[in-house]
Amino acid sequence: MRNRILLPLLAMPALLATVAYGQETQQGTGVTGWYVTTGGGPAGRAVTGQPYSAEETYQTVQTLADGTHITHQSTTTKMYRDSQGRTRTDRMLGGRRGQANGEVGPVMVMINDPVAHVIYRFNSDQKVVHKISMVAPEVQRAPAVASARGTAAAPAPVNQPHEAAQMPAPQVTREKLGTQSMEGLVVEGTRQTTVWPVGSRDNDQPITAVEETWRSSELRIVVMSTTNDPVNGTTTRKMTNITRAEPDASLFQPPADYSTQGDGGPAPR
């Protein structure tokens, strides 16, 4: 049972880095005041007045017991943001074999438009646009306000397995790494170290996972993040070819020859 829990828990720092990175690069922390929900709650406020275009690469390196290194390099993802805070992400689909052979596969596109309060998602080989409404901050806050006034029932407590409750908690430390220049931007670095104590996951030695994040406060994006843990290896996300010019406005509209599959209503919480 504990061994089955080990993998996902060790992967947690990498997962959190992925979530945080996606939020920073796509929505950031800005001033428009409209939220986007994609299944895990609000993704953040849109950044205005700081347009950019960039490419993101994702690489995972696993080291085997005999010293062999296995490197997985993903296809570059393209990202755009205009002065109004609208964002677009173009992510190529398909396996690593096609990427290694230089094959061009379908592209999954997500457009986040806080001006029109909608999200567009579409796959380039299906030509169908899925439209989802954004949720305003007051709508997000309504359940919490109602609960505080006693008009909504409090959520039922979540029962945790007894075994999990008895596990020693990991020790987390954070430190600042100063500043440096990266891709023409001044970035600020932070390091988070998570140590799983002996016996917390049937381990006879402490297990350590380290995450480093380099963020541009000017553009409000994470330029590079690296997560290193003994289970998943070293995962690096890095943004390159960053330009500050205003992207073409047509990038933030779905193709005219694509059909739209209705408005699915507010994005799920």
3-state secondary structure of 224: strand
Asked if residues 31 and 84 have their Cβ atoms less than 8 Å apart, the reply is no
- E strands, 15-117, in order: 52-63, 69-73, 77-81, 87-92, 107-113
Q: How many residues does the chain have?
A: 269
Q: How far is CA 205 from the centre of its chain?
A: 31
Query: How far is residue 66's CA from residue 70's CA, in Å, rounded to a whole number?
Result: 12
For residue 142, give every residue at least 6 positions away whose Cβ sits within 8 Å of its Cβ, in sequence order, or none: none
Segments making up each domain of the chain, as ranges: 2-37+51-154+168-266
Q: What is the pLDDT of residues 41-95, one digit of tens each?
A: 334 578 999 999 999 988 888 888 888 888 887 767 999 999 999 999 999 876 5
| φ/ψ of residue 24, rounded to 5 | -70, -45
What topology is assigned to 2-37+51-154+168-266 in CATH?
outer membrane lipoprotein receptor (LolB), chain A (2.50.20)
pLDDT at position 199 is 82
Closest CA to 52 of 15, 83, 27, 31: 83
3-state secondary structure of 141: helix
| pTM summary value | 0.69
Greatest extent of the chain over all pairs of C-alpha atoms, in Å: 61
Is residue 141 packed enough to be buried (19+ CB in 10 Å), middle (13-18) or exposed (0-12)? exposed
Query: Who has greater pLDDT, 41 or 233?
Result: 233
When computed from its CA atoms, the radius of gyration of the chain, rounded to whole angstroms, is 21
**Which range (4-18, 144-158, 230-244) has the least confidence?**
4-18
Residue 121 has pLDDT above 80, yes or no: yes
Residue 108 has pLDDT above 50, yes or no: yes
How many CA atoms within 13 Å lie on the side-chain side of 140?
A: 20
Residue 195 has pLDDT above 70, yes or no: yes
Closest CA to 111 of 247, 252, 206: 252
Asked if residues 223 and 182 have their Cβ atoms less than 8 Å apart, the reply is yes
Asked if residues 131 and 118 have their Cβ atoms less than 8 Å apart, the reply is yes
Q: Mean pLDDT over all residues of the chain?
A: 76
pLDDT at position 198 is 87
**What's the mean pLDDT in 146-165?**
56
Closest CA to 234 of 243, 242, 225, 222: 225
Two tokens, residue 203? 């381990």
3-state secondary structure of 139: helix
**What's the mean pLDDT in 126-136?**
85
Highest mean pLDDT, choosing among 3-12, 155-164, 244-253, 256-265 = 244-253
